[in-house]
Amino acid sequence: MRVLGIESSCDETGVAVYDSEAGLLGHELYTQIKVHAEYGGVVPELASRDHIRKLIPLIDEILKRTDSVGAIDAVAYTSGPGLIGALLVGGCVGRALAYAWGVPAIGVHHMEGHLLAPLLEPNPPAFPFVALLVSGGHTQLVEVKAIGEYRLLGESLDDAAGEAFDKAAKMMDLDYPGGPHIARLAEQGVAGRFKFPRPMTDRPGLDFSFSGLKTFTLNTVTQNAEANGLPDDQTCADIAHAFQEAVVDTLVIKCRRALQECNMNTLVIAGGVSANNRLREKLETALAKINSRVFYARHEFCTDNGAMIAYAGCQRLMVGQTEPLAVTVTPRWPLDQLSHL
């Protein structure tokens, strides 16, 4: 089965063609970062309009490049969670193409897409596993027995980890999305100059909270600010370093705890923050000590992309799941409400 995947839930337009026999044939990604840069965050209406501009040309390109014109068996599009207008663009285009081609279509849960992205890699993890979903909108630990069999173990009570990275970056006048900028700056930072808290690690449970860390960062930036309102370059690097260590350590502690509670030894990390090299490195070291392993997708499939949607949709389409013709999108959609395969 050959599936066209469409991702348009936020600020990336992603398309891909996944073939159940041959694997991923290709993908295309257009990022709207420049469109939103001057606002310091995603402007929903601008996102929808840009998806409208870019989606059809990208689909055209991927179909030609993968030799898939007239060869698509089904369409998968992100139907939630995400920005409603942005989701509707992908939903309408996906449904319309499926109708015109006389093939089935299915709406895919964006976080299930992220969660399954590491399965696109060579030597993928085997079920069951614990998944850490860390993106701009979500920080969740999930027990994954099989595709669609998800139990929420814990989640952030306030900001998502990616959101904390983005907000910390903004405080130091770094561009959106801030995660990669903080990570780069942190490499120049001196370890130990600042010590940030590891929120909620001293009590039992698997929930997270990153809003206190955000306030701590703001206070540190303010206390060290010079006349221009910002600390000097080295101090910013030191703050970025301390901030990243705090987020990473917090995530590592909770992942280890989740594996132990579920009696499992496989961890999958997915979503934008799983691209963070320090997180990967620290998880690898920590998990080796408890005979466990961490799996993740290549960098370009950690952040939003069409390949993960084509893959996740294909798994459901192959067991016969489809949906009626109406375009339905679900901006808020808990992962554990998904059906089993």
Could you say which residues in the range 229-258 bind ligand KG4, by CB under 6 A? none
Q: In the bound complex, what is the minimum distance in angstroms from residue 47's beta carbon to ligand KG4?
A: 12
Contacts of 96 by beta carbon, 8 Å cutoff, 6+ apart:
none
Minimum CB distance to Zn ion, residue 272 (Å) = 6
Q: By C-beta, is 95 or 138 nearer to ligand KG4?
A: 138
**Closest separation between CB of residue 1 and ligand KG4, Å?**
26
Cis preceding-peptide flag for 118 (omega within 30 of 0) = no
Q: Which stretch binds Zn ion (CB under 5 A): 67-75, 128-136, 230-238, 248-256?
A: 128-136
- HEC assignment per residue over 154-221: EEECCCCHHHHHHHHHHHCCCCCCHHHHHHHHHCCCCCCCCCCCCCCCCCCCCCECCHHHHHHHHHHH
Stretch that binds ligand KG4, among 163-171, 194-202, 207-215, 328-336 (CB under 6 A): 163-171
Helices (H), the chain: 33-37, 44-65, 84-101, 110-116, 161-171, 178-186, 211-223, 233-262, 277-288, 306-318
Report 285-304 residues binding Zn ion (CB under 5 A).
Answer: 304
User: Of 304, 312, 313, 315, which one interacts with ligand KG4 (CB under 6 A)?
Assistant: 304
Instruction: Tell whether residue 283 is a contact of ligand KG4 (CB under 6 A).
Output: no
Which CB sits closer to ligand KG4, 42 or 63? 42
Q: Are 236 and 183 in contact (CB under 8 A)?
A: no
Report the site for ligand KG4 in 93-152 (rule: CB under 6 A): 135-137
**140 lies in the binding site for Zn ion (CB under 5 A):** no
275 makes contact with ligand KG4 (CB under 6 A): yes
Rounded to 10 deg, the angle between the 161-171 and 233-262 helix axes is 170
Q: How far is CA 206 from CA 13, 149, 253, 257, 275, in A?
A: 33, 19, 9, 8, 22
Residue at token pair 């994954």: 144
Q: Supply the minimum distance, in Å, between the C-beta of residue 257 and ligand KG4.
A: 21
Among 89, 117, 144, 183, binds ligand KG4 (CB under 6 A): 183
Interface residues with ligand KG4 (CB under 6 A) are: 10, 135-137, 162-163, 165-166, 177-180, 183, 271-273, 275-276, 303-304
